[in-house]
Chain A
Amino acid sequence: MLGGLALVTRRQWKGHRLRTVLTVFGIAIGVATYFAVQASTFTIARAFEKTTEKIAGKAEIQIFAGESGFDEKYLDTVRDTPGVAIAEPALEMVGKTESGESLLIIGLDTTSDLELHSEIVPEQLVSIDDPLKFINESDSIAVSREFADRNRLAENSVLRLRTQSGTKEFTVRGFFKPVGVGELFGGNVAVMDIYSMQDVFGREGLIDRIDLKTDDSASVEETIGLLRQKLPAGIETSRPEQRGKAMATALAGVETGLGLMSFLALAISLFIVFNSFYVSVSQRWKEIGVLRALGVPRFGVQAMFLGEAALLGLFGSVIGVILGYFLAIGAIRVLSTVSAASYGLVTTADLPSLDPQNAVMAILIGIAASVFGALLPARRAALADPAAALRNIETRDRGKELNPLRIAAGVLSVSGGLAFTLFATPAVGTFVQVGYWMAILLGMVLLLPVFVYASAKMLRPLMNRVFGAEGMLAVDAMARAPKRTTATVGALMIGLSFVISNGALIDSQKAALSRSLDRSVNADYFVTNSDQIRSRTYHFSEDLADRVASVEGVARAENLRVTSLKYGGREVALLAHDMDGWLTRSPDALDRGDARAVRERMSAGEGFLVSENFALRFGVDLGDRITLESPGGNITREVLGVLEYYQSEVGTVFLDRKLYKQYWGDDTLDYILITAADGADRRALKAGIEKAVAGEQQVFVYSHEEYRNWVMGLIDQFFGLNYVQMVIAIMIGGLSLINTMVISVSERKRELSILRALGGFRSQVGKMIVLESIAISFVGILTGFVAGLLNAYCTLNISVVAVAGFRLPFRFPFALLLAAIPLVVAVAAISAWYPARKAAALNVAEGLVHE
């Protein structure tokens, strides 16, 4: 029996090649997106692990303290710890050559035998002519062969580098062929003696890292435990792999976005399969009747459709994995850019790693989505009354679609989701709340037929007036086949709702940031050391700050250090502000607490300020005392103020710079915030600042407006993915439309022929098909708009709070919607092109007798 059914199925595929191809392609796009996301995040994570592995070399344990480094005295503490066999210090800095190339300089104790770092500079590959001179002269540097060749550096060549302590000259006194970490940075690696390096870079007594190996007397875990006891809490001890993992989790936000995107693509694939199979069942109604009459049992019919779906799913998924591989190449590029721009994590991953497990998983998911999409249509086919096969399905189904039960369920689901959003108190980190918008979306899907009818009612007179009888008939055709229409409308709705809610999120974040910039980051000029949000490989010195402060027209210059620390197991942002200056300049900076009242206590180092999301996440209230761990020991202070601040999704703590310097032993800074004197000539002021900072390795001077634009630009860049998502959503919507319109034409051959017999031109029939497609896309936009609005409301009130603890003002992305409308309509018109041609070319005489 199955063989017979398979034959029937094969005939169907041949007879409806386009539909089959579209279905396969629909699955392929979903699977491709899913696979690309999986493969790229997997590849990036692996690249991070590899990077840290190579940097770690042979070290079993690494000790570090954020980017400010820590006192080298702890090296002795470590070496004295039982179980530690070798412990070697390291410093890392980045310099820039005159041609703008970045060079990673690693400071090592060159007097030791470098056993742990033989990965970086393998002994046999190092050539240093005069080791003694190398150590004694503090300007000695050894560079990789590649770097030397590229920059034409020979023994004793002078290498000029711009560093955070100004431009420095080094003398090349050695070369090495890098194996480990050097490979990662394209060979842009140099090695210096660590003590010379402290000297040159003004980091006396500081080290960034201790790499160590244990002896046989204790396990690695035991040694870690022991070290943690002996070292202050602000200094971290862990295995190198864990650092790689920590780097990778920094990308979690972007990955969540990508994950949502693949979910979206799969959901739309599901709609396409549903659409195709619904149509297939409708077209094969008679065949089903005949099969049933011939004694094929219900489950046989169902199995035939589901088997067909599984097979199409398999084809589509395999194609999807192949497409996905290429998509992953692009995704990796985006991910690396985002990770470099926003987090300063550099990787050199270029090609996606093809993990067979990922591929198999993607294929299984594709098949499952396909079978799931075909489930309802297959059930409908199985339940068909063989005798009813001759009746018209469209009119018969209509009642069911507007079933009051379904409408009630839809209304309930939407209002339930909204009620929860409104009345449940959001808490940080509870992802259950994301279920609210799922409920809303589900409700919207249930209500789709209502939307289709309502829109048809509204559109009919309009289209009649604008496009004549063809417009009216197009709307009628759309409303008459609710299933055919709703499947496509659903695909468009889901896609657009994501795009619109993401757009709302972006606009709201911008609005929030803009408010924050005006209220608490309201300096006239900003001098900063990075064109990236979180990457700060290079910091300013106080000297520079003093130079800037003395520029004519500067009323006040505040120094700000932006760094991070571990709090409650999470990485929170730490802002060391010149509190007196800041709170004077921004008297309204605080949402809770009075800036004027706490200014003196804050600048005396008697308290902390925290961001609202920090307060929410860690359950901290105004007046509570919290403890921060620093390399100089624990600091406990009262929380004197709370403010909305968007530096970190985890939370931000503010303290006075003096307190920071005392506990972190770090007097570098990242921002100089300048208040202009009254009546100062702005142009002269900026020129003066630029002159004062000239010669710095990396420096950016922005006016308030420029700074705002720069921050907004970064957000746009970060959310560039939203446009990719929009393109995918609209593309899949287009596929679904082609499918639907081909069906519409084949189901309405008779009607189209009548039109031709009554004197309708081919072009008029074609126009009608295009108009139907546009009408459907219009309903898709409308429902996508409504669902997007609800989704955005939910996202802002629940998800953003749940993930980041931010409370953002609601902004609707009208610009995005306005951009989406012509785009969707254009895609709808293009999608209808082939079906319209088909309709125009119909044989009228045959069509008139078509059933």
Chain B
Amino acid sequence: MGSESILEFRSVSKVFGGGGGVKAVNDITFSIGKGESLAIMGPSGSGKSTILNLAAGLDTPTSGSILVRGKDISNLSDRELTGLRRTEIGMVFQTFNLLPTLTALENVSLPLRLQGISQKESERRSDELLGIVGLSERRSHLPDEMSGGERQRVAIARAIVANPALLLADEPTGNLDTASGIKVLETISHLNEEYGTSVVLVTHDRGAASYCGSVMTIVDGRLGASAETARERQ
């Protein structure tokens, strides 16, 4: 699709625990453009989540540089990184991470409200997104009152409510049964295709990876084979 680069890793390494520590990410280089989707696969402990955290500015690389929309984020302040997450990046987690006391609608509108957008406007936009993920009738429910799949779709709505260019999803189907998982993946690829949101999807599951345009494999923090997915071949 588009040629504009949304996220780019240039020889990024991340070492935990100083000099002789764990090299969680080792000289990784890749990039994804606007509207593209990338699946990252690899065994447990290979560094997948670390890559997402680095991309989201929740961690800083030990070496190399990370560019979001062409802008190097490795030297930004915490406040600037937070600003980046507000406008450019949405995150989805394996354990949903919805706030338990907030309703679906309140959860989805939370990022907008943190940005100082009025409750009314935030909720109007959130309602729209709950419609897109197919949960309009759940708007007043608390997380406890929803199924895992529904919760994850609420989390996705929350991740993209601020219209980010990039969606980072860390094993979003890891805690779901197959049917719910498929629904979640369909939602993500719908957003990717319909709204041009770039997606980085971490997963263990080949089937899940097949929803993405390309797949990158990580082993011990290093880049393994990169392959085209079924979708690309079609």
A759, A761, A845: the one within 8 Å of B111 (CB): A759
Q: Does B220 contact A (CB under 8 A)?
A: no
Max count, chain A CB within 10 A of own CB: residue among B114, B115, B116: B114
| Cross-chain contact of B99 among A751, A759, A761 (Cβ < 8 A) | A751
Q: Does B208 contact A (CB under 8 A)?
A: no
Segment 63-109 of B: residues with Cβ below 8 Å from A = 78-79, 82-83, 85-87, 91, 93, 97, 99-102, 106
- CB A620 to nearest CB in B, in angstroms, measures 64
A464 and B119 in contact, given A754-B97, A758-B110, A758-B111 (Cβ under 8 angstroms)? yes
Partner of A468 from the list B86, B116, B158 (CB cut-off 8 Å) is B116
A759 & B115 in contact (Cβ 8 Å cutoff): yes
Assess A473 versus B99: contact at CB under 8 Å? Given A464-B119, A758-B85, A758-B158.
yes
B189: A residues at CB distance < 8 A? none
Q: Chain A's nearest CB lies how many Å from the CB of B83?
A: 8
Q: List chain A residues, Cβ under 8 A from B87.
A: 759
The answer to whether B82 touches A756 (Cβ under 8 A) is: yes
Q: Does B113 belong to the interface (CB within 8 Å)? A: yes
A759 to B79, CA, bound (A): 9
Contact B58 A757 (CB under 8 A): yes
Contacts of A333 in B (CB 8 A): none
The answer to the question of B53 belonging to the interface, with a C-beta cut-off of 8 Å to chain A, is yes
B119 touches A759 (CB 8 A): no
Minimum CB–CB distance for B76 against chain A, Å: 13
Please tell me if B56 contacts chain A, counting CB pairs below 8 Å: yes
Given contacts A762-B78, A845-B53, A845-B59, contact A757 B99 (CB under 8 A): no
Q: With A844-B58, A845-B59 as given contacts, are A760 and B101 in contact (CB-CB < 8 Å)?
A: no
List CB contacts (< 8 Å) of A439-494 with chain B.
Answer: 464-465, 468-470, 472-473, 476-477, 479-480
A153 at the binding interface (Cβ < 8 Å): no
Q: Which B residues lie within 8 Å of A476 (CB)? A: 99, 101-102
Instruction: Report if B12 contacts A (CB, 8 A).
Output: no
Q: Which residues of B contact A757 (CB under 8 A)?
A: 56, 58, 85, 91, 97
How far is A761 from B79 in the complex, measured between Cα atoms in Å? 7
**Residue A238 is within 8 A (CB to CB) of chain B in the complex:** no
Contact status A759-B85, CB under 8 Å: yes
Complex interface: chain B residues within 8 A of A472 (CB): 102, 106
Does A848 interact with chain B (Cβ within 8 Å)?
Answer: yes
Would you call A469 and B58 a contact (CB within 8 A)? no
Task: Give which listed residue, A465, A755, A845, contacts B114 with CB less than 8 A.
Answer: A755
Chain B residues whose CB sits within 8 angstroms of the CB of A760 once the complex forms: 82, 114
Binary contact readout A751-780 vs B (1 if CB under 8 angstroms, 0 otherwise): 100111111111010000000000000000
As a 0/1 sequence over residues 605 to 625 of chain A, the CB contacts with chain B under 8 angstroms (1 = contact) are: 000000000000000000000
B215 on interface, CB distance cutoff 8 Å: no
The answer on a CB contact under 8 Å between B82 and A468 is no
Q: A469-B113, A760-B82 are in contact. Are A848 and B158 (CB under 8 A)?
A: no
Question: CB-defined interface of B117-156 with A at 8 Å, one 1/0 digit per residue?
Answer: 0010000000000000000000000000000000000000
CB-nearest residue of chain B to A464: B119
Q: Give chain A nearest CB distance to B107 CB in angstroms.
A: 10
Quick one: closest A residue to B99, CB to CB?
A751
B161 and chain A: residue at smallest CB distance: A758
B110 and A469 contacting across the interface, CB-CB below 8 Å: yes
Of A477, A758, A761, most B-chain CB atoms within 10 Å: A758
Q: In the assembled complex, which residues on chain B have CB atoms less than 8 Å from the CB atom of A477?
A: 101
- Shortest CB-to-CB span from A687 to chain B, Å, is 69
* B162 contacts chain A at the CB level, 8 A cutoff: yes
Is A657 close to B, CB under 8 A? no
Residue of A464, A473, A759, A760 most packed against chain B (CB within 10 A) = A759
Q: Is the CB of B113 within 8 A of A468?
A: yes
A262-B43 Cα distance, complex, nearest whole Å: 63
**What's the nearest-Cβ distance from chain B to residue A308, in Å?**
31
Query: Does chain B have a CB within 8 A of A750?
Result: yes
Produce 1/0 per residue, A825-851, CB < 8 A to B.
Answer: 000000000000000000011001000
Closest Cβ neighbor of A470 among chain B residues: B114
Segment 759-805 of A: residues with Cβ below 8 Å from B: 759-762, 764
The reply to whether A759 and B59 form a contact with Cβ atoms under 8 Å apart is: no
Give bound CA distance, A751 to B98, whole Å: 9
The distance in angstroms between the C-alpha atoms of A465 and B120, with both chains bound, is 11
Is the Cβ of B58 less than 8 Å from the Cβ of A845?
yes
Kindly provide the distance from the CB of A16 to the nearest chain B CB, expressed in whole angstroms: 24
| Residue on A nearest B54 in the bound complex, by CB | A845
- In the complex, are the beta carbons of A759 and B102 less than 8 A apart? no
- List of B residues within 8 angstroms of A754 by Cβ: 97, 99
With both beta carbons as reference points, the residue of chain A lying nearest to B93 in the complex is identified as: A848
Contact A759 B97 (CB under 8 A): no
Given A844-B58, A845-B59: A759 touches B53 (CB 8 Å cut-off): no
CB of B161 to closest CB in A, whole Å:
9
State whether A480 and B114 are in contact (beta carbons under 8 Å apart), knowing that A759-B85, A759-B86, A845-B53 are contacts in the complex: no
Residues of B contacting A755 with CB < 8 Å? 110, 114
Known: A764-B114, A845-B59. A758 touches B91 (CB 8 A): yes
Nearest-Cβ distance from residue A198 to partner chain B, whole angstroms: 84
- Closest chain A CB from B38 CB (angstroms): 20
Residue of B nearest to A395 (CB): B100
Q: Which residue of A lies closest to B85 (CB)?
A: A759
Q: How far is the CA of A759 from the CA of B82 in the complex (A)?
A: 5
Residue from B79, B82, B87 whose CB has the most chain A CB atoms within 10 Å: B82
Ranked nearest first, the 10 interchain pairs of A and B with the lowest CB-CB distance are A759-B86, A476-B101, A469-B113, A759-B85, A845-B53, A845-B58, A758-B111, A844-B58, A754-B97, A760-B114
* A–B Cβ pairs within 8 angstroms, 14 of them: A468-B114, A469-B113, A470-B114, A750-B97, A757-B85, A757-B97, A758-B85, A758-B110, A759-B83, A759-B85, A761-B82, A762-B78, A845-B53, A845-B59
Q: Which residues of B are interface residues toward A (Cβ below 8 A)? A: 53, 56, 58-59, 78-79, 82-83, 85-87, 91, 93, 97, 99-102, 106, 110-111, 113-116, 119, 158, 162
15 new A-B contacts, CB < 8 A, other than A480-B101, A756-B58, A848-B93, are A469-B113, A472-B102, A476-B99, A476-B101, A480-B100, A757-B56, A758-B91, A759-B82, A759-B85, A759-B114, A760-B82, A761-B79, A761-B114, A764-B114, A848-B58
